[in-house]
Amino acid sequence: MADPLNLGLLLFIPYRALETRVFAALAQAGYDLTPAQARVFQRIGSTGTRLTELAEQAQVTKQTAGFLVDQLERAGYVRRVPDPTDARARLVQITDRGAETIPIAAAEVARIEAEWTAHLGRSRTRQLRETLTSLREITDPYA
């Protein structure tokens, strides 16, 4: 009998399946984003976020975050603007093109969650959400 998979892997497998489908939906709609770019993109706040904060939240170096933001900027998904609270700093903001990707990704996530709910049932899905939300309290420093 094979050893049971650890919890981390059991959490990762469905996430990777969801991520793959979201990127396929975005590509089908004409948007080319990589998982690495999305890791930074999804952490940009509504009024913009400093590069250092994006790097910290995405758990990458400032240089890596800068490289990914450069790619996103060239593709038209983000822009850099002066930070109104500090003339020396700049904020990364989502452009209109970048904002167009958000409802596409959200719709695909909703479809996937509906499939998972149909598979697990409403009660087990609710329990899973509650359990993972509770686990987030001790695993997510940005919660």
In contact, 108 and 23? CB cutoff 8 Å: no
Predicted confidence (pLDDT) per residue in 9-43, tens digit: 999 999 999 999 999 999 999 999 999 999 999 99
Predicted confidence (pLDDT) per residue in 109-128, tens digit: 999 999 999 999 999 999 99
Crossing angle of helices 62-74 and 51-58, in 10° steps, is 110
pLDDT confidence tier of residue 3, bands split at 50, 70 and 90:
confident
The residue to which tokens 């706040």 are assigned: 45
Report, at the CATH architecture level, how domain 7-139 is classified.
Orthogonal Bundle (1.10)
**Distance between CA atoms of residues 68 and 86, nearest Å:** 23
**Distance between CA atoms of residues 56 and 54, nearest Å:** 5
- Closest of 143, 142, 131, 140 to residue 7, by C-alpha: 131
- pTM for the model stands at 0.89
Three-state DSSP at 113 gives helix
pLDDT at 1: 67
